[in-house]
Homo-oligomer: A and B are copies of this chain.
Amino acid sequence: MANSSATIRDVAKLAELSVASVSRVLNGHGNVHADTRKRVLKAMDTLGYVPNAAARSLSTARSHAIGIVLPDLHGEFFSELVRGMDMAASDANYMMLLSTMHADRERAIQALSAMRGRIDGAIVMAPQLSPEDLRRALPAGSPAVLVNSPEEDGQHHNLRIDNRGGVTLMVRHLLASGRKRIVHLAGVAENLDAVERKQAFCDTMKALAPELPVRVLDGDFTDTGAELLVQQLLASGEEFDAIFAANDMMALGALKVLRTIGISVPGQVAVAGFDDIPLASFLDLTTMRIEISDFGKRAVERLVAELSNDAPPATLERVTPTLITRATTASG
């Protein structure tokens, strides 16, 4: 029966060899006689030996694990992101250490510290951290890929969404389909993407339709938050014929309220989101598609490349989303 904790010395003893030989077999090093290899393998098998990862990473200073720090896990955006990361990680034979930083900037730093010694590199998504905090959280030399995070001084590769490009496409689409009074539901103010999208919305409106009003409501990226905002908007009696939310969840919240109240979508009001979470296609929501799982996959692949020392120079890499037009913005 498999002993629950056989060590390499146990294997060596049983095979009547030294630990070095066992280790060599274990790691497929050269210069091991075929007989020796066989004896080692048999011993490992009868003992049910599994090498201890902690010991191994202590002596090699490599853990074959990467840390993932995310702001939250709510919703399909993160589920897709993690799925993509998992695919890439498992292809490259890395484990994933997952952690969230519950909106608390101190805990983000703490989470990263707790990973010291267990990971070879990290993927950090910290849209609400300042570059300052970020530098503090990431030991200068440690390999890391930043996802949707503030730019530091080029220490780490940065993977971002081309928010400006995406917003421009969407605004153009809404205007083209005849909408005049577009309300933007912005995301949480601390979030980098939210800020960029909001700014891009204002700029694009000014540029493409200077005569129209630029209307922005500050939301929080949640459907329930958006529901409240739209209810207030309706109560205020203000006119509008389109809602462009900074993410799909808010768009769906808006959609829910409009439909409940009995306002026709897209008849009276068009609704558009951002992200293209799987839910969006079910509800026929027009949105900007980011291939989220690819995004996660890309981040891991980049990190692994860095760990294998064939890393391209650390740059800012932007992924441009594509416009997916669906029923919620069909021409009124």
Seen from chain A, the residues whose Cβ lies within 8 Å of a Cβ on chain B are 1-2, 4, 48, 50-58, 63, 65, 73-76, 78-79, 82-83, 86, 90, 95-100, 102, 113-118, 139-142, 252, 256, 278-279, 282-283
Contacts A99-B90, A100-B90, A279-B282 hold; do A116 and B51 have CB atoms under 8 A apart?
yes
Task: Give the CA-CA distance A116 to B216 in the complex, in Å.
Answer: 52
A140 nearest CB across to chain B (Å): 6
| Chain B proximity of A94: nearest CB distance (Å) | 10
**CB-CB under 8 A for A256 and B282, given A52-B116, A79-B79, A139-B4:** yes
Give the residues in chain B near A2, CB-CB below 8 Å: 139-140
| Closest B residue, CB atoms, query A53 | B117
Majority DSSP secondary structure for residues of A touching B: mixed
A4 touches B140 (CB 8 A): yes
**A53→B116 contact, CB < 8 A:** yes
How far, in whole Å, are A252 and B44 apart by their CA atoms in the complex? 49
> Which of B57, B96, B102 sits near A98, CB closer than 8 Å?
B96
- Residues in B whose Cβ lies below 8 Å from that of A118: 53-54, 63, 65, 95, 118
Residue in B53, B58, B114 whose CB lies within 8 Å of A115 = B53
Residues on B with C-beta less than 8 A from A117 are 50-56
Cβ–Cβ contact B76 & A141, under 8 A: no
Write the nearest CB–CB distance from A213 to chain B, whole angstroms. 30
Complex CA gap A252/B283 in Å reads 11
The answer to whether residues A75 and B278 also contact, given A63-B54, A86-B99, A96-B98 and a CB cut-off of 8 A, is yes
| Chain B residues with CB under 8 A of A78 | 79
Q: Which residues of B contact A75 (CB under 8 A)?
A: 76, 79, 278
Q: Nearest chain-B residue to A114 (Cβ)?
A: B95
B53 & A4 in contact (Cβ 8 Å cutoff): no
CA A19 to CA B18, docked complex, whole Å: 32
- Cβ of A256: which chain B residues have Cβ within 8 Å of it? 282
Query: Which of A82, A99, A102, A118 is most buried by chain B, counting CB atoms within 10 A of its CB?
Result: A118
Smallest Cβ-Cβ distance to A249: which chain B residue: B278
**What's the Cα separation between A78 and B78 when bound, in Å?**
10
Q: What distance in Å separates the Cβ of A321 from its nearest Cβ neighbour in chain B? A: 21
Residue of B nearest to A4 (CB): B141
A97's partner among B4, B74, B96 (CB-CB below 8 A) is B96
Report if A82-B76 is in contact (Cβ < 8 Å); known contacts: A113-B50, A282-B252.
no
Point out the residues of chain B lying under 8 angstroms from A90, CB to CB.
99-100, 102
A252 to chain B, nearest CB (A): 6
Kindly list 19 other residue pairs between chains A and B, CB separation below 8 angstroms, not including A52-B116, A54-B58, A79-B82. Answer: A4-B141, A51-B117, A52-B117, A53-B116, A54-B63, A56-B117, A58-B58, A65-B97, A65-B118, A73-B79, A73-B82, A74-B79, A75-B76, A75-B79, A78-B79, A86-B100, A96-B98, A252-B282, A282-B283
**Bound CA span A142–B282, Å:** 43
Tell me if A95 and B76 are in contact (CB < 8 A): no
| Nearest Cβ on chain B to A150's Cβ, whole angstroms | 20
Residue of B nearest to A119 (CB): B53
* Closest CB pairs A-B (n = 8): A79-B79, A52-B117, A53-B117, A73-B83, A4-B141, A50-B116, A54-B57, A54-B58
